[in-house]
Amino acid sequence: MNLDAVRVLVVPLGGLSRTKFKRYLELLRAHSEVELDALASTPTPRSQGEAPRLLTASPRPKSVSRTSKSKRPSLKSFKSSTKASTKASAKSSAKSSTKSHRRSDSRASAAGDSSDSDSGAPDIVVAPEVSDTGPIFAYRAVSVTPRIRFEFVADAGPESPVAELHMHKRVLGVVGVGACSELLGDAAYTRLTAEAAAYPFALQTRAYAFDPPLDYRDDDDRFVVIPSNRVDFYVDRLLADFGEALVTSFEVSLAHLRDSPAPIVAPALGRDPESASKLRKLKPGRLAKIIGDCALLAGSPLDGAAYHKRAIDLTAAASDELWLAGAQEGYAAALVLASQHGLASDTDVDCDIAATYREAIDHYAAAKLRSLEVEARLKLGLFYASTGDTLAAGACMMDAHARFQDAKASAEVHDRILLFNTMAQVFLSIGYARKAAFFLRQAALEQADQGAPGTGTALLALAAPVFGLSLSQINSDALLPGWSLATQQSDPSLPAAAPNAVVVPFAASARLSWPYLQVLVIKDLIELGARLPDQTATLKYMAYLLARMHPFLDERSQREFCKRLALLASSLGSVPLISTPGLPYVNLITPLQLSSEFQVHTVKAAGSAASPFIFSSFGASSSSSSRPGARFAHGDEPPVFELGCPVHFALLVSNPLLVPLHLEHITVLVDGIEFVTEAASTVLPPETTDYCVTLTGVPLAEGTFTITGVSMHVLNMASSFGVDAHGVGKVLAGATHAVKSKKKTATAYVVAPPLPRLKLTSNGVSETSLLVHEGELSIVSLTLENVSSVAVTKLDISVPRNPSSMASMRAKASEVILWNDDDIASFLPLEPGAVATLDLRVFGVLGDIHSGVHLTYAAPHKPDLASYYRTLVFDIHVLAERGLQALSFDILPVHLALDAPLVSDEQVAPGAAAEVDDLARHAHDDGVLELSALFPASTESHDDHPSHDVLLVFAVANRTSGTFHLSVGVAHDHVSQLRTATDPRDVFAPVHCIALNQLLEEQAAARDGVPDRFVTRVVSIEPTTVERIAVPIPRFALAQALLDTPIRRLFPAWSKTQSALKTKPSKADDVRMQHLMYYKLALLKLVRLRWFSSFNTSGILPLDALVLTPSMVATLTPDPVSLSLSFDAFGHDASAPNSSGSFVLVAPHALGSITLRFRNAGADPVSLSVRIVLAQQVASRLASTADAATGVPNVVIDGMLAFDTGPMMPGTSFTHSLAAAFTADGEAYDLIVYAQHTKPTPSSSAGSAINEAVTIVVSSACDERELLPLRRPRTGSNASSVGPRS
């Protein structure tokens, strides 16, 4: 509040340059406050000619003399009183009039006693009556040297309409400054006077001439020459003189005003002028106020206070609203000044000031003087701020603003700017940053409207931090000078997380404090920047807005800004490189692995001593890891590229905007070697993340390169993004030095010299899948063409050890795919352009195999190529079907039968009677019967418990087109137990029946040489046929100990999950399953089926078709029930018949009895149903025909041929006897007993059967012969008891 400053206009004189003018102005301003009694010698003030007018309406004073006369004493008094009151400060002038002393004292005393009655400020003395005589200013109670303050303005602008009320707004003096060097003459002086004339109230005029040359003659007294040395001193003096003169002229004009009868009219603010009488009534108050103002200007606040107080009373009495307000304001100002000068104690004054101001404001409001009111409010606010009452200050400010907004239409722009600035400053001073920012912004926008966008930007830059934006002038960025923008919270998730996180509105990651405000401020910045000559900053703001604030822009404005950005960027001519921040977000830049046939591998140092080839594992692993197009994973070793052959890069970009982004001229920045990348361009759809763009480049030199980043043109701006070690994109700071720092961590890719490359075709296709039968052999021919310019001198083929196939455990790829290395050697080296064919032999081994055949080739003869090689992968899929298949299994009980081919052959070597009718013949001729020849003594010993043989009968199918041979093997030891083989008549045909004797032969053969524990017999199976094969095997029983041991993990699923537990079978079932399993294992140990085909391949015929049922197992196991036969009374004497187990001799026409004894050796009671059949042997028919004439039946059997034994307790036996008579001599019969268990018991053989047969030979030739020692019949102990009875 500069009510105490005298406004002085400074005008340049002559052709004064601006810089000099500025200098002089500063010089003056440096001394804008001078002490009044500092003037040593009073040069007679020049402007004595006429008393200047102080008020618009005040008439011109008549004559100079009067004023000059009336001035004198007052000046004296002023000086003396000053000296009196001043503590011997200045040099005292000798002459001092006692009269003036007395007067001042009396005034002081008067003031003293009248102060009590005064209701106003306590320590302010009542102003004297504005008497007709006497001086006006008294400078009473001034404890300090009175001082006057100037406000030097270079441009005073138009006079404010209410200047009547504000002296300090009025130009009261004009000072011309000039340089002596310039020509100063009449022209300059007249100009000065003209300037002064423009301001009618300019009381004093001065013309100063600075910087006189040495030889300057000061002849022109119109100009006060200021010597160059001690400029300050002189300026101080001169200004003091100036001020003195001003004060004088104040007094002059005030006195004149006081004396003149003319009324003081208020400024005409569109209100009807008061009447003359009213004016006369109003005059004293108004006069007092004006005097008060002048007093303030003259630097005597106490006087001012006094006069204003008086004015208040008067004007209030006269209800002169406007002037009352002015007086109150002035009074408050006076108080403030007083307290500032330490003339009054602050505390109790403050409230007074505030109150007065409020009144003033009210009255202004009543007087409808908006501008004045606003000003007053501002001042009050300032005052509050100075007293530290921030709340009140804030309220005041807001009120002022509100009132101002009401009067906005009337107010000028620079007023507004002034207001906003001042409010901003006030708010800043009281620490209201946000409000200050608000008004700063308003001011900035106003400035922009006034065509000063630069200052506007600067103001916004001040305001921005409050909104969480920092606007900083960056010099480092050489590419785009200007302001750079950033969000202030150093929130790492903002720019750093750009790659993977598209910033979403209100995501916790992006902490934008008050997004709308930030967006708005940035928009303002853009608008302001748009009016600046340099558009680059705007570019940045828009880019920043789009890249960082996009979540808070709707699609329309996003599109609009994109368009504007593009337009602006294109208007800038050369494509500008926008550094921060980048759109779109680049997430990843990585080179793509070449397709497998182009891939180049480097030889591992390990094991590469002799040749660069270690294909075994490396080839496989590299091929498995490098699927074509697979992104090279971190940690895996980087791919190697070939000179001149294209490299593809995968670029992942994200577009967070709601509008599509056009990316043009996308190129990869590569460091290290010469590299051409062809610029790609694409359109990013809205809101896409990880949109993949494939870029292509060609290395032009050998060596290693690193990917430093990618550059692209977005919205006509070039942005370049750097990458870190993993190829993850980040916004690149314009220049490339940021990339250099990254280089050490970035992965280096090797570019190899040109290498040989083969093109592979196999029957035109690159992948072969073929179906072969097990054991079949087929040929796949590969065609290799060298499409490179380098000869291939080394080529190796390998198949991976572990092909990814389910059946790999069945068939190893190395067994399936065969090749001949000599073929390869034959066509090496393969010159460029040459074509070679290579045959792969694929062999059908059961199972299907997906396998890659790796052809690894290189040109090791060239030293620089020695460390590289390539691999061609030829995928082949072999599906081999099984050739032989076991269909069904069955186990048949077999009855004992004589192992005889049963063909009637007359020529049989004597003594080797192998047939029954030989027997008869022999009996006829020499009568010597070689029973030993007939019944070779069996070597093995027989236990009491009988064990019968069974037949394992199964069908084998040959589904293939080739003949298979099946070698059926039975284990040695079991063969030796086999007693006999089956009779073709009993087993259904057609069956390949393995006869015992063949087995025996092969056993013997086996014993000689081959240490095979199997006795085998080969059966050939024709294509597409099914053969049944019966193998005799002995019954066997497994040791109970074995059966009791449970089979671990027999049913793994059952012990696992709850649901499985539900389906778990009962204990008994479990045990039975175990037993079946054991029996199956034992059976498979017993019998082996091995197939082999014409392609000398062989394999074991899997017997997985063999399913054992309890009944089959029962048939396998030895039957507890044994049968023994005995023959009584057959023969010529009563002696025991010549029974030889399965062979009994009986005499013709002899009557006898056949006794069957069943014995239950098992643990459970058993009951049998028995059927007895007597069958005449085929070969002996010829004999029987002889007797056909007589018609006598050859055989008579009396007895039950079919009966049931009751339940036989364990250990007991059941006997049944038949009476029989055989008449025809030389005949042979088979007595066959079928015994079937009727009540199968769990443990014993359920459903098993006993099939016993005895061959009865009727021969009369055995009479006169002593019995030959017979082998002990194996059909039971009782046979031995059938001895000769004596």
- Positions touching other proteins (CB under 8 A) are 390-391, 394-395, 398-399, 401-402, 405, 427, 431-435, 437-438, 441-442, 445-446, 448-449, 467-468, 506, 508, 511, 513-517, 519-520, 523-524, 527-528, 530, 557
Which of 512, 1150 has the CB closer to other proteins?
512
Which of 511, 992 has the CB closer to other proteins?
511
Sign of CA dihedral 701, 704, 708, 709: positive
Range 411-415, long-range pairs (CB < 8 A, 24+ positions): 411/370, 411/371, 413/446, 413/449, 413/450, 414/450, 415/371
**Tally of CA atoms within 13 A in the half-sphere of 273 that contains its CB:** 11
Close Cβ partners of 224 (under 8 Å, ≥ 6 residues apart) = 206, 207, 208, 209, 238
d(CA 115, CA 133): 23
CB of 527 to other proteins, least distance (A): 4
Which of 390, 616 has the CB closer to other proteins?
390
Which of 396, 1021 has the CB closer to other proteins?
396
Which pair of tokens denotes residue 803? 């092909």
Which pair of tokens denotes residue 860? 């090791």
Which of 84, 507 has the CB closer to other proteins?
507
Close Cβ partners of 910 (under 8 Å, ≥ 6 residues apart) = 922
Which of 322, 448 has the CB closer to other proteins?
448
d(CA 460, CA 437): 8
Which of 93, 390 has the CB closer to other proteins?
390
CB of 514 to other proteins, least distance (A): 5
Which pair of tokens denotes residue 1032? 């005799």
CB of 1077 to other proteins, least distance (A): 48
Which of 32, 557 has the CB closer to other proteins?
557
Which of 47, 518 has the CB closer to other proteins?
518
Helix axes 370-387, 321-340, angle to 10 degrees: 20
Helix ranges restricted to H, 817-946: 821-827, 916-924, 931-934
Which of 411, 1197 has the CB closer to other proteins?
411
CB of 388 to other proteins, least distance (A): 12
CB of 426 to other proteins, least distance (A): 12
CB of 209 to other proteins, least distance (A): 47
Close Cβ partners of 883 (under 8 Å, ≥ 6 residues apart) = 773, 774, 775, 958, 959, 960, 962, 964, 1091, 1093
Which of 513, 1055 has the CB closer to other proteins?
513
Give the amino acid at 1192: V
Helix axes 301-317, 321-340, angle to 10 degrees: 160
d(CA 1098, CA 1088): 13
Residue 921 phi, psi (nearest 5):
-60, -45
CB of 522 to other proteins, least distance (A): 11
CB of 452 to other proteins, least distance (A): 14
Residue 1061 CB burial class (10 angstroms; 0-12, 13-18, ≥19): exposed
Helix axes 453-463, 433-449, angle to 10 degrees: 170
Which of 523, 1272 has the CB closer to other proteins?
523
CB of 516 to other proteins, least distance (A): 5
CB of 509 to other proteins, least distance (A): 10
Return the DSSP state at 1268. Answer: P
CB of 235 to other proteins, least distance (A): 43
Residue 257 CB burial class (10 angstroms; 0-12, 13-18, ≥19): buried
d(CA 883, CA 881): 6
Is residue 724 within a helix (H) or strand (E), and if so which, with residue range? Answer: none
Which of 424, 1033 has the CB closer to other proteins?
424
CB of 431 to other proteins, least distance (A): 8
CB 147 within 8 A of CB 5: no
Which of 440, 1258 has the CB closer to other proteins?
440
Residue 1088 phi, psi (nearest 5):
-130, 135
CB of 500 to other proteins, least distance (A): 20
CB of 511 to other proteins, least distance (A): 7
Which of 458, 828 has the CB closer to other proteins?
458
Which of 468, 1110 has the CB closer to other proteins?
468
Length of the chain: 1286
Q: How many helices (H) and strands (E) does the chain have?
A: 31, 46
Q: How far is CA 649 from CA 631, 668, 872, 1249, in A?
A: 9, 8, 23, 81
**Tally of CA atoms within 13 A in the half-sphere of 1223 that contains its CB:** 12
Which of 520, 1129 has the CB closer to other proteins?
520
Which pair of tokens denotes residue 1114? 């029962």
CB of 63 to other proteins, least distance (A): 56
Which pair of tokens denotes residue 1177? 């042997």
CB of 562 to other proteins, least distance (A): 16
CB 131 within 8 A of CB 359: no
Listing DSSP states for 649-685 in one string gives EEEEEEE-SSS-EEEEEEEEEEESS-EEEE-EEEEEP
CB of 674 to other proteins, least distance (A): 48
Return the DSSP state at 754. Answer: P
Which of 512, 1147 has the CB closer to other proteins?
512
Q: Measured at the alpha carbon of residue 329, what is the angle toward residues 323 and 334, in degrees to the nearest 5?
A: 120
Helix axes 64-85, 98-117, angle to 10 degrees: 70
CB of 437 to other proteins, least distance (A): 7
